[in-house]
Amino acid sequence: MIVHTRKKAVFNWSGGKDSALALSKVLQDNQFEVVALLTTVNEETKLSSMHAIPYTLVMKQAESIGIPLYPVFLPKNLEIYEQRMLNAANHFKAQGVQHFIFGDIYLTDVRKYREDRLHPLGIEVVEPLWNPNSNEVMHDFLASGIKTKIIVTDASKLDGTFIGQDISSVSIDLMPSDVDVCGENGEYHTFAYDGELFSHPVDFNIIETRKMMYEFKLANGEEKTYHYWQAIFE
């Protein structure tokens, strides 16, 4: 009798639809033992770095999924960010983890960034959703039964009326043609709250839609201002 040992892995959890779909696929395939959901949190705002989800709600997601949450609290300082992420990777490598799983779809520069930092540590990057066709990924998502709400939109692409809408064939059809159907280019972000992945729905309440902005400087020194709509949770 051959016994197949599952490989230990850490899942990098954003809290959104792509994370939820990727994790669902990984658990169904049963090739990996997911020992933790690693999530990054802004140490000042206590919101998730990727999707601006309150840390308390990310904890609720992990509790319903049934996998321990491993938060990494990050400052704006890039050097400290890099060091804390390196510390997290080494923490899990010491526990025998050799795979980090992500929910990216087709952004090769993002994948290369991850591989450049993890491969030297002996950690392999796993991308269960990797597919150049966003429409196919969205088809799989809609078939999964996972429920997610739009909680952030790029104001130059989607207006504030999309905040609070569930991702469905209806909401997708309302999006302009230049918006990637999965929001892979940052057009929108989501919050996953129900479906087979969860033992029970995550309780939450959106009380306001607020237009936000932040200024940043490009590598060439050019200053940019980014406007976005964001859900404010109770």
pLDDT along the chain (234 residues), means of 10: 80 97 97 97 92 96 98 85 92 96 95 95 96 95 98 97 98 96 96 98 97 82 90 95
Note the pLDDT of residue 222: 84
| Whole-number Å distance between alpha carbons of 160 and 150 | 10
| Burial of residue 62, with CB atoms counted within 10 A of its CB: 0-12 exposed, 13-18 middle, 19 or more buried | buried
| Contact predicate 39/129, CB 8 Å | no
Query: Residues near 13 by Cβ (< 8 Å), separated by ≥ 6?
Result: 19, 23, 37, 38, 39, 58, 61, 62, 69
Q: How many helices (H) and strands (E) does the chain have?
A: 6, 9
Question: In terms of C-beta distances under 8 Å and separation of at least 24 residues, what long-range contacts does 179-185 make, across chains too?
Answer: 180/134, 181/134, 181/135, 181/138, 182/17, 182/18, 182/105, 182/134, 182/137, 182/138, 182/141, 184/105, 184/106, 184/107, 184/134, 185/107
pLDDT at 2: 55
Please give the pLDDT value at position 1: 54
Residue type, 163: I
Q: Residue 218's pLDDT is what?
A: 72
Architecture of domain 7-126: 3-Layer(aba) Sandwich (3.40)
